[in-house]
Amino acid sequence: MIKPERKYEQIVVSKFLLYYLIMGTAFCFLILPVLWKSIMFKKATGNVRQFVYFNENNHGGAFIPLVDYSIEDKWFSFYGTDVERDELNDGQRVNVLYNPDNPKEAYIYTFAGFWSTPLMFFIPIFVASSSVLLAVGLIPKKIVLKI
């Protein structure tokens, strides 16, 4: 029995569009969880108690802020990140973003402490890959997909 020849429909897609769709998806995976936290978590005010020397896995350490905040007369403490150490001082009041279901999960709500970490990963990857691919000409103008 002879099978009939299958006809394919061709779709022409710009590789630039495909590349930016992939990079946009990566951006969403890095930013959407942070955006969700900024919407769903509640806000409080806390104080930087002190800076603590934190040395994880003996790979050099950093001073990170220890922050105290209260919710309905219950006190919680958490550690900030070393990104925030240059912006903060002992005793300084800070905005805190915390998970209402688990108040121990909290963040200092500043651009450097909350938003910059995902951007620090995405922006260099995006710029470097765009520059290399465009400079070398590895992105032809079109790609043909057979469906």
Q: pLDDT of 25-62, one tens digit each?
A: 888 888 888 888 888 999 999 999 888 887 776 666 78
Q: What is the pTM of this model?
A: 0.65
Which of 86, 97, 107, 123 is CA-nearest to residue 40? 97
- pLDDT at res. 88: 84
- Average pLDDT of the chain is 80
Tabulate helix, strand, coil % of the chain (nearest 5).
35, 35, 25
Q: Mean of the pLDDT values across residues 50-79?
A: 84
Which of 37, 43, 26 is CA-nearest to residue 114? 37
- pLDDT at res. 46: 92
- pLDDT at res. 13: 63
What is each CA distance from 93 to 2, 60, 112, 125, 145, in whole angstroms?
79, 28, 16, 35, 56
Q: Mean of the pLDDT values across residues 7-15?
A: 65
Q: Is 9 left (phi over 0), alpha (psi -120 to 50) or beta?
A: beta
Q: Mean of the pLDDT values across residues 106-133?
A: 80
Residues spanned by the domain of 64:
10-146
**Structural domains in the chain (count):** 1
